[in-house]
Structure 1
Amino acid sequence: MSLKTKPGAVIFAKQLERMATFYSEVLLLPVTHADGDHMVLESDVFQLVMHAIPRQIADTIAISDPPAIREETPIKLFFPVASLADARARAALRGGQLNPSSHEWTARGFRACDGHDPEGNVLQLREPAP
């Protein structure tokens, strides 16, 4: 067993498979492990764990359609993508949304845009700046 670990994040999800599919397809991260209560998406340098919220708690959570954006949280995850335009299209197909291109900005060698996943969690995607 290697003692080296990858940096990563855990997202707790009411709809495990829907959320894992969203992140897998938008970020182009393959699912490397799946069982009844979590799915692992992974690149060579990062691991994103989707963890199911226990049923008794999940049943008390309502996700509207479209989802209410959870902006009142102290954490926003950001992820690299090759193309914001391509990621925007993939997000829309999987129940999330990336803000319009008019909301993009450039800083420190990347172009960024905020959006949200199918459960309303705010995220930011970044592509290399020209």
Structure 2
Amino acid sequence: MSEMVKFGAIIYAKDMQALSEFYLKMFDLSVLHKTDKLVSIGGGGFNVVVHAPPEEIPERKFNAVKLYIAVESLNTAKSKAEGLGGKALKGEWSNSIFKVCNIADPEGNHIQLREFLQ
């Protein structure tokens, strides 16, 4: 994928290898990147990141599937979410491509926001 993917899903998995294989074969996707904590797979402009949960979190607090959406500004998007009845969650993380944070929609579903650095 030469273009930055702006939409996709993060799926937290107990067995990353088995779940990755399911998505690879079911939807004819390819492995884009793999580490000991995640397998990024995609095709056709869509990306699925099969990820080990970042910590042990009770089911009621944590979704197994989490959307990610690129935004122009994390700060603007967090403010907008709160204005629409959602919640900006604590913390920001970054890598060489984007910085991220999480919000929750009004029903508590988590969404990762990505602000591309380039």
Q: If the length of structure 2 is used for normalisation, what is the TM-score?
A: 0.46
Q: If the length of structure 1 is used for normalisation, what is the TM-score?
A: 0.43
